[in-house]
Structure 1
Amino acid sequence: MAVRTRIKIRHLIILFFLFYVVYTLVVQQLKMMDLARQEAELRQQIEMAIQQREQLKKQIQLLHTDSYIEKLARDKLGLVKPDEYIYKSNKSAP
């Protein structure tokens, strides 16, 4: 009977070890999948930041042009060139 008990204990130990290995592999696989998802999200955020940086570079270049500065002065500040007049309508929207 002692031999049979040792065999059962040995089987239980092997079974426990196999369960532990499988559990560890599954948990690690899930972590790897989560990290891959996070990496994809971060890559997408990086791409969006690069695009935004390029747009801002274009805006900065545009800000240094005389035509854009003139447009801002006219639209935002209401400035006019010498001998130029602004006509405003007093029409009310219905």
Structure 2
Amino acid sequence: MKKKFKFKSIIIIFIIFYVCYMLISQQITIKNKKAQLQQYKTELQEVSKEHQRLVDETKMSKTYRYVEKLARERLGFIKQGENAVMQK
């Protein structure tokens, strides 16, 4: 009778440890997935901001003033009647 009791108690203890191990393992996995999700959300926000900046820049590039500004800055163009000033 005593052997049967030990065998049952060993099996029960083993099952309890296994369940505890599985629960802890799942909690660690959930924690890692939450951290990964937060990282992806942050990355999505950064990409969304960059996308919006590019959309705004595209809209702005279609305006005459922006094209004129780029021509003046990058190509050194001047309007008729203006004097060019060289900076060192």
Whole-angstrom CA distance in 2 between matches of 1:89 and 1:11: 90
Residue 70 of structure 1: SS of its match in structure 2? helix
**Shift in Å, 1:9:** 1.0
Residue 86 of structure 1: SS of its match in structure 2? coil
More off after superposition, 49-58 vs 17-26: 49-58
Q: Tell which structure's C-alpha radius of gyration is larger.
A: 1
- Alignment: residue pair count: 88
Alignment of 1:30-45 (within 5 A): 30-45=28-43
TM-score normalised over the length of structure 2:
0.90
Distance 1:5-1:86 versus aligned 2 partners, 3 A rule: same
**Is the aligned partner of 1:28 residue 2:26?**
yes
- Per-residue deviation, residues 34-68 of structure 1 (Å, max 9, x unmatched): 10111111111111111111111111111111111
Whole-angstrom CA distance in 2 between matches of 1:67 and 1:15: 78
**Shift in Å, 1:29:** 0.8
Whole-angstrom CA distance in 2 between matches of 1:72 and 1:89: 17
Consecutive unaligned residues of structure 2, counting only runs of 5 or more, are none
Whole-angstrom CA distance in 1 between matches of 2:11 and 2:87: 92
Q: Hey, which bits of structure 1, 4+ residues long, moved more than 6 A?
A: none
**Is the aligned partner of 1:65 residue 2:56?**
no
* RMSD between aligned residues: 1.4
More off after superposition, 10-19 vs 40-49: 40-49
Consecutive unaligned residues of structure 1, counting only runs of 5 or more, are none
**Shift in Å, 1:89:** 5.2
Out of 66, 76, 80, the residue aligned to residue 78 of structure 1 is: 76
